Structure formats: structure tokens, C-alpha cells
């Protein structure tokens, strides 16, 4: 059993709290039973797993399953587990996985996808990922100046769906959008002053939805690439909606329209 915070594995895992540590080690943290269960279900490339004796007693089958997949499986004291985890009240297990776990979106045959520019809040990104999986979106592109896609809060906010959505970080979103546009994919940009509301757009054709920074919205560069510009109507005095809610509205409108086509 690991009892010391000075243990090399503990020090290594604690460095993964920060983006620099995740980049240097090419690893990220998985915290909690649900994320570990999902990681095992999708054959995520796990590297290490640490749990308390109490957690091991409660989840013997999951511990056995995870232990077979990792290079190191360690029992640790609750104090050590608390130091490894980023949450205030961890449920007893933390694992690490290779950063290459994330699948890259395909540049062909896209039916519905998202481009997120300069997104900063990990909770928003995690919620958007969860919603995108719920509507069976094909993938998500993120600008490199956004929150890290493997930030622990992103994974927790995704409620385990993080593993199921192809995602990529791009230095040049304009080039990504242009590539899809050249294949006939409709580009829909969100803009508060747009003339059309989001339900006036035909989402039945392949579509890439552009969403911007929580405060500043989309840059002019990306807005200029949009084939259609849409707004979400708001009552007087309401400045804007949370970007994760905006994403959900557009994604579910796209799903609604596609299902109507199937019914017809």
C-alpha cells in the first residue's frame, strides 16, 4: 500500500493536475468510478490506477478489470488518494490514461459536427461533449487557445461521454472549416445580431456548427466563413445564453429535423 505523498507515482499523478504536466507526460487523469467504468468499456489506454482499500472492497470486479489493463495498480491510503485527485471529495479511485486516447474526427462523411473557438470554461466543454454524444454528432473541433480537452473538469462534466466523441485541437480552424466546406458541408455560425433564428435553417444536410468564446463569441474570421448565420432569440434585457445551452439548442434542432426526414 502506498502511504507517502513522496512516492514517485503520487508525485507523477499530482503533476497531471496541470496542463503542463499532462503535456510533458502525455497522460491525463480519470477520477471516479463512473469514468473508470466507461474507460474500461471503450478500451481506453489506461496506464495506472490507484484506489483506497474501501473502494476496492466496494468494487472488486471493476478493480480486477482495471488492474488487468494497466501497468501499475496500487492500493493507497485515503490521504494519498485525496492528494492525487483534483476533486474535494473523491470517491476512492483515480487512474491515468494516454493522451492519444481521443479519436480524431473524420474529414469525410460528416453529417453533424461542432467547431468551438476560444472556449474557456471546462464545465461548458464537458457539457457540450455530453450533449454532442446524446444527439449522435460526428465530432468536435477545438481551437488550441481553448481549455484543454483533457482537463479533469472537462472529463467529469462530460459524465463519461468524453470517450465516445471524436475530438481534435486545431491551430487553424479556418483551414478545418474550409476543408469541410469544400466537401459541401454547410457552415452555420452563431451571431447575436443575425437575421435568422436557428430553427429557420435547414439542418438536414451535412452541417458544421460554429460556437465562440463565452464572452466574445465567434471571431470575425470564422463568422466570415459561415454559409448561414443564426441567432437564438432572447427576451428584452437578456444579454446571452450560456454557450453549452446554445450548443444544445442547435444540436437538438438539427436532430429534430433529421428525424422528421426519417419519419416522412
SS3 94: strand
Q: What is the pLDDT of residue 239?
A: 73
Task: Compute the average pLDDT of residues 225-245.
Answer: 88
Q: Write the pLDDT tens digit of every residue in 103-136.
A: 889 888 899 999 999 999 999 999 999 999 999 9
Task: Compute the average pLDDT of residues 188-215.
Answer: 93
Q: What is the pLDDT of residue 257?
A: 94
- Above 90 in pLDDT, residue 218? yes
Q: What is the pLDDT of residue 7?
A: 97
The cell for 139 is 465530432
Q: What is the pLDDT of residue 201?
A: 94
Q: How many alpha carbons fall within 13 Å on the CB side of residue 122? A: 13
- Above 70 in pLDDT, residue 200? yes
- Above 90 in pLDDT, residue 165? yes
Structural domains for the chain: 8-101 (3.30.1330.30), 112-263 (3.40.1280.10)
State the burial class of residue 43 (Cβ atoms within 10 Å of its Cβ: 0-12, 13-18, 19+). Answer: exposed
Nearest to 23 by CA among 95, 125, 100: 100
Q: Write the pLDDT tens digit of every residue in 21-55.
A: 999 999 999 999 999 999 999 999 999 999 999 99
Q: What is the pLDDT of residue 264?
A: 57
Contact 141, 116 (CB under 8 A): yes
**Residues linked to residue 46 through DSSP beta bridges, in sequence order:** 97
Confidence of residue 235 (pLDDT cuts 50, 70, 90): confident
Q: What is the pLDDT of residue 44?
A: 92
Task: Compute the average pLDDT of residues 253-263.
Answer: 85
Amino acid at each position: 500500500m502506498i502511504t507517502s505523498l513522496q512516492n514517485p507515482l503520487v508525485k507523477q499523478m499530482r503533476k497531471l493536475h496541470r496542463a503542463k504536466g499532462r503535456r510533458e507526460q502525455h497522460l491525463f487523469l480519470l477520477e471516479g468510478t463512473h469514468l473508470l467504468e466507461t474507460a474500461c468499456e471503450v478500451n481506453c489506454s489506461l496506464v495506472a490506477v490507484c484506489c483506497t482499500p474501501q473502494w476496492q472492497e466496494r468494487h472488486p470486479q471493476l478493480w480486477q478489470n482495471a488492474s488487468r489493463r494497466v501497468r501499475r495498480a496500487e492500493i493507497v491510503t485515503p490521504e494519498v488518494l485525496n492528494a492525487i485527485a483534483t476533486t474535494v471529495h473523491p470517491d476512492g479511485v483515480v487512474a491515468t490514461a494516454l493522451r492519444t486516447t481521443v479519436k480524431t474526427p473524420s474529414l469525410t462523411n460528416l453529417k453533424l459536427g461542432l467547431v468551438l473557438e476560444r472556449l474557456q470554461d471546462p464545465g461548458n466543454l464537458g457539457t457540450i461533449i455530453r450533449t454532442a454524444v446524446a444527439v449522435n454528432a460526428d465530432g468536435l473541433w477545438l481551437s488550441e487557445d481553448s481549455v484543454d480537452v483533457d482537463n479533469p473538469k472537462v472529463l467529469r462534466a462530460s459524465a463519461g461521454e468524453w470517450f465516445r466523441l471524436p475530438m481534435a485541437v486545431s491551430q487553424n480552424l479556418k483551414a478545418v472549416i474550409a476543408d469541410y466546406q469544400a466537401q459541401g458541408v454547410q457552415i452555420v455560425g452563431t451571431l447575436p445580431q443575425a437575421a435568422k433564428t436557428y430553427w429557420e435553417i435547414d439542418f438536414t444536410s451535412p452541417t458544421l456548427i460554429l460556437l465562440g468564446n463565452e464572452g466574445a463569441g465567434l471571431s470575425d474570421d470564422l463568422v466570415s466563413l459561415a454559409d448561414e448565420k443564426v441567432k437564438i432569440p432572447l427576451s428584452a434585457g437578456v444579454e446571452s445564453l450560456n454557450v453549452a445551452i446554445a450548443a444544445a439548442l442547435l444540436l437538438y434542432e438539427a436532430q429534430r429535423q433529421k428525424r422528421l426526414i426519417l419519419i416522412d
